[in-house]
Structure 1
């Protein structure tokens, strides 16, 4: 079994692992850390054996959940490393006098998509079936979340703000 498949099985036992998987992150590295932790807790030789042992024994599953909580700091570091690289790239582009046109276009298209969904919902709500209203509402929510993510990247999120401020100031930690 490949690492991501095993890690998704492990995430059924410790759901907090799911927050580390997503676009832009390094899911294979995180999956390998989750598997190594499972092998340590169970004493198994392989990821498949560790997953099977955790699924079969509730006590081991509980021990694994506790180990995941304790290892959260290391996993969080791996999770944030990719975001830091993206911010560093963005800062270097600006310092070199370039604009990040790709990011600007992404935000522009998110705004256009959100406004289009809201206009259709506002003007044609009575004329379209409920399923379409639900679908358009979901799409509008996705565009809104994309804008939120762009704002968190630009202006800082709860965990990344300090690192971004240090990066922008040019001061080494």
Structure 2
């Protein structure tokens, strides 16, 4: 899945969870944590596999639910102590949605063996190491595009949270003067 597809899946999941639990849309800082979470597995695995060569594939260490459980337990303790549980929840939803989004369509098509990275290193990886590629699965593009359109719609309906967090203070058009 492309980075924007991961972001779309993560945003839809987190916004839905947040609205179900609190009836409020996500906050700007939560969205920033969510963005990092949705990209985190690829930001770790792909460089370490493709350019450094210390991982067997671009879907291994950070895509594994074993790694995710340890990392999320540690970050939960830190965020809880600092009063940032909603940021942790946003990061966690983004992080956990990533590996499942990578494999969902494959598993639905019966390719269960392609999901072994979810329990790596307990299960062997299903494919050998490969280099960087920008070629996605063409049949997945309409699905990802639909997810992105839906996520943008929900994000706008939520008030575009996160924009004010990354714009310079004087650039926020909604800020009161």
Larger C-alpha radius of gyration, 1 or 2?
1
TM-score of the pair, normalised by structure 2: 0.30
Structure having greater relative contact order (Cα 8 Å, sep ≥ 6): 2
